Amino acid sequence: MTATTIVVAQRKGGAGKTTLAAHLGVAWAAMGYAVMLIDTDPQASLTRWHRRRKARQIEGRTDLGFTTTTGWRVPSEILRRARDCDILLIDTPASADIEVRTVMKCAALVVVPVQPSPVDVWATLSTLELAQGEQVPALLVLNRVPARASLTTAMREELSRYDVGLAATGIGNRVALAAAFCDGWGITECAEDSAAAAEIAALATELGGLLPASDRASQRHAEAPQPPLPEGLEFPLEKPEPGIAGLKETIGRLDGTSHGRATEESRGNVVPDLGGAALLHQAASPSENQLLAGIAFLKRRLARRLKQG
């Protein structure tokens, strides 16, 4: 068994990188995948989460592997751990190009969480350029999305046109995610009926559909309960426009839109947790279907990389 290595990277702080990695890891483990988390960030936030998780010995807690390593030991540790799991999920430090580039060399996919504002996306370009330099597919995930942010829809429609890839599932700015993380939980095991859990489960399912799986992993995944994706999602095979160069042009245009109004509307706006069932069965609008063009391109690009490797 050889793991698919997924790196969660973001040079800009405050995007929720570590929290997202923890919740995704737990969600995948609950779906039947053998998951190993690796913390390569000297701040060790993911390590503290795992220590709290391990110390509490909670009944019903989802088991997953964990280790921490930094510096020159990272590549050898990745190779060693990849033999024992299906998904190797790596949290990386912010603003550490050499270390992050080293980890990306071992990756099949780079997941880049980004908050939906022109400033945050612009700051994310350096992370995307790192992935592009290592020829690793990168997927943007809109994270900490505030309710009623008027710019979010416009940014989704624009970002979906480029080959950097954009996940159809976004994660709201929800108190429950941070609270669960602080207590060593994954949201899908401590609040499985919440909207936050529904979003994480949907994102885990979406990303899992992009990855190759061993027969053993496929069998475990098939036997585990699977959360439904929103109805009406398709993968239209449209030719994307140039990636990072086009993305820079997009942000330039968006900087001239109603950014000030969006910021004012979303200030202090944390989404309360509602029932997750309605979210998962919510029909996607035509504009949301168009967002998956970037994901379709990512699938083809990832398949080519894995075939060559």
pLDDT tens digits along 279-304: 333 333 333 443 445 555 555 656 66
Q: How many CA atoms lie within 13 A of 9 on its CB side?
A: 30
- Is pLDDT above 90 for 71? no
One-letter amino acid identity for 203? Answer: L
pTM tops 0.85: no
37, pLDDT greater than 90: yes
Asked whether 168 and 159 are in contact (CB, 8 A), the reply is no
Q: Tell me which amino acid residue 293 is.
A: A
Q: What average pLDDT does this structure show over 267-281?
A: 38
Mean pLDDT of the chain: 76
Helix axes 244-254, 118-133, angle to 10 degrees: 170
From the list 138, 158, 170, 117, the residue with the least C-alpha distance to 290 is 158
Domain limits at 243?
4-308
Domain of 15, CATH number, reads: 3.40.50.300
Residue 172 contacts residue 266 (beta carbons within 8 Å): no
Q: What digits encode the pLDDT tens for the residues 189-217? A: 999 999 999 999 999 999 998 876 544 44
Distance (Å, whole) CA 296 – CA 302: 10
- 284 or 220: which carries more pLDDT confidence? 220
Q: What domain count does the chain have? A: 1
Say what the pLDDT of residue 196 is.
96
Once rounded to an integer, what is the mean pLDDT over residues 20-30?
Answer: 96
Q: What is the pLDDT of residue 241?
A: 45
Q: What is the pLDDT of residues 137-182, one digit of tens each?
A: 999 999 999 877 667 777 787 777 666 789 999 999 999 999 999 9
At residue 23, the pLDDT reads 97
CA distance 280 to 230: 5
Q: Looking at residue 105, what is its pLDDT?
A: 92
Return the pLDDT at 304: 64
Distance CA 287, CA 70 (A): 42
Half-sphere exposure at residue 5, Cβ-oriented, CA atoms within 13 angstroms: 27
Phi, psi of 273 (to 5 degrees): -85, 125
Q: Is 63 exposed, middle or buried (0-12, 13-18, 19+ CB in 10 A)?
A: exposed
Q: What torsion do the CA atoms of 226, 222, 141, 178 make, to the nearest 10 degrees?
A: 50
Lowest mean pLDDT among 8-12, 46-50, 160-164, 250-254: 250-254
Comparing 16-30, 54-68, 224-238, which segment has the lowest mean pLDDT? 224-238
Q: Dig out the tokens for 304 from the structure.
A: 């080519």
Residue 252, pLDDT above cutoff 50: yes
Is residue 6 predicted with pLDDT exceeding 80? yes
pLDDT confidence of residue 48: 96
Whether residue 263 is predicted with pLDDT greater than 70 in this model: the reply is no
Distance of CA 288 to the CA centre of its chain: 18
**Mapped to the 3 state alphabet, what secondary structure does the chain carry?**
CCCEEEEECCCCCCCCHHHHHHHHHHHHHHCCCCEEEEECCCCCHHHHHHHHHHHHCCCCCCCCEEEECCHHHHHHHHHHHHHHCCEEEEECCCCCHHHHHHHHCCCCEEEEEECCCHHHHHHHHHHHHHHHHCCCCEEEEECCECCCCHHHHHHHHHHCCECCCECCCCCECEHHHHHHHHCCCCHHHHCCCEHHHHHHHHHHHHHHCCCCCCHHHHHHHHHCCCCCCCCCCCCCCCCCECCHHHHHHHHHHHCCCCHHHHHHHHCCCCECCCEHHHHHCCCCCHHHHHHCHHHHHHHHHHHHHHHHC
Query: In this predicted model, what pLDDT tens digit does every residue of 82-125 receive, in sequence order?
Result: 988 999 999 999 877 888 999 999 999 999 999 988 888 888 88
Please report, rounded to a whole number, the percentage of residues in the chain having pLDDT higher than 90. 45
